[in-house]
Amino acid sequence: MFRFSRTRIKSTDIVLIVICLMYLVTYIDRVNIATAAPAMQKELGLTNIQLGLAFSAFAYPYAFFQIAGGWLGDRLGPRLTLLICGTIWSAATLAMGFVEGAISLVAARFILGIGEGSAFPTATRALSNWLPADRRAFAQGVTHASARFGNALTPPLIAFLIVALSWRASFFIVGAISFAWVALWWFYFRDDPRDHKGVTAEELAVLPPQKLTAVRKVVPWRRLFTRILPVTLTDFCYGWTLWLFLNWIPSFFLHQFHLDIKKSAIFAAGVFLAGVLGDTVGGIVSDGILRRTGSVSKARVSVIVVGFLGAFVFMLPVVFSSDLMIVTLCLSGAFFFAELIVAPIWAVPMDIAPQYAGTASGFMNFGFGLAGMISPVVFGAVIDATGSWTLPFVASLGLLLLGAVLALFMRPDQPFLDEIEPTRDRGARPMPVQSPS
């Protein structure tokens, strides 16, 4: 829960709220195309494959900048990094309103991916500075719940703007909202809580004892990547399913069940709201297990495995049923369990390597970005080839089971610093080991 004093909201909680707003805004910018797609497709004459390419064009730079942006966040600090990235993704959102065909649409989505690619790893770095270990999964839960609330809010919001104004105007409006968040971030946030005028001694007492900005000069890239690789592969399995939901669910309801844009938006919003609950529950349960057992592995891995298996069970009826209500309820259940994964899996890089939280989470979320390159195009190609809107979900079933197995190899109970031999990192100053729990 957010921690309130008697007279005011604590600065640490305000920072968390501001980051939650970033997750909400970035996801509105990211998934607004899913609701606008039918109108854009009709006006611009796009095929499903071209639309899938536009969806995935976001993911290519997004995947690359997970790593580059995470490193940049570690090097420049979250405040400056998100100022730069926020300006890029806000401008790209505005540019979406000016596209005239497949090429310009792909270009705008590509630039959007550049801007948003650094956002979540950098935000993770900011949370490492501002929150104690036993609030990490909760923080990741509420921030990603905000993202899913953005998912749920976007279909009815964009549908309303399209009906009231136009699909182009919808991009102009959400782009302006994005620029407003960038201004708020630069005004309020500081990289080190000790440099923030509003932080109290009580808040500082529970934060990490050293300045996490004082990190090693040299990132041990190869060993850090090897250590995070199981987390990356697990995140790929989760990401495959999530990209299907983000990009295709509004069109799925529209085409599979022949709903109009307003009704399909309402059904899509209902599915995404289940994700809001899943993100929040996953974070609360994971940190609760950590406090009760003291085991980082139990707190993170057990919740992730349950999420994968639960999503698999609820996804099965979607492939075989043609009843609108059954499919909607099952998609909602699948999305709830899939989102249980998010909070603990984003806490894992902070547990393993807190002083490289930006880079480590960038390595992890590269798997998510890689899934985004492949998943939307495969979905669109299968639809064009077969005419079936349910067949592409079959691949998700296999990857959900694979993800449950891969999660067992993540080992968040083994901090990265314990594996470092100082003589192998010449020129780097030794850092005190900070337990993840």
Cα 131 from Cα 199, distance rounded (Å): 12
Q: Give the least confident one: 63-72, 94-103, 344-353.
A: 63-72
Domains of the chain listed by start with CATH number: 11-191+221-415 (1.20.1250.20)
* pLDDT score of 173: 93
* pLDDT score of 235: 92
Confidence label for 434 from pLDDT (cuts 50, 70 and 90): very low
Confidence label for 8 from pLDDT (cuts 50, 70 and 90): low
Query: Residue 2 pLDDT > 50, yes or no?
Result: no
- 279, 342 Cβ separation under 8 angstroms: yes
* pLDDT score of 437: 35
* pLDDT score of 181: 95
- Which of 148-152, 169-173, 325-329 is most confident? 169-173
pLDDT tens digits for range 99-114: 888 889 989 999 999 8
* pLDDT score of 184: 95
CA torsion, ordered 33, 37, 43, 45, to nearest 10 deg: 110
- 405, 274 Cβ separation under 8 angstroms: no
Strand-pairing partners, residue 9, are: 4
pLDDT tens digits for range 219-267: 778 888 888 999 999 999 998 888 877 777 777 777 667 676 667 777 7
Cα 167 from Cα 35, distance rounded (Å): 9
Query: Residue 308 pLDDT > 80, yes or no?
Result: yes
Query: Residue 429 pLDDT > 50, yes or no?
Result: no
Query: Residue 433 pLDDT > 70, yes or no?
Result: no
Task: Report which of 311, 307, 267, 303 is spatially closest to residue 287, judged by C-alpha positions.
Answer: 303
What is the pLDDT of the chain when averaged over all its residues?
80
* pLDDT score of 406: 93
Name the more confident of 40 and 56: 40
Task: Report which of 329, 270, 333 is spatially closest to residue 306, judged by C-alpha positions.
Answer: 333
Mean pLDDT over residues 55-78, rounded? 80
Helices vs. strands in the chain: H and E counts, helices first: 16, 0
Backbone angles phi, psi at 131, to 5 degrees: -130, 145
Distance of CA 165 to the CA centre of its chain: 29
Structure-block tokens of residue 360: 């480590």
Q: Would residue 264 be called left, alpha or beta, if left means φ above 0 and alpha means ψ between -120 and 50 degrees?
A: alpha
* pLDDT score of 186: 93
pLDDT tens digits for range 382-427: 777 777 767 777 778 889 999 999 999 988 877 776 444 443 443 3
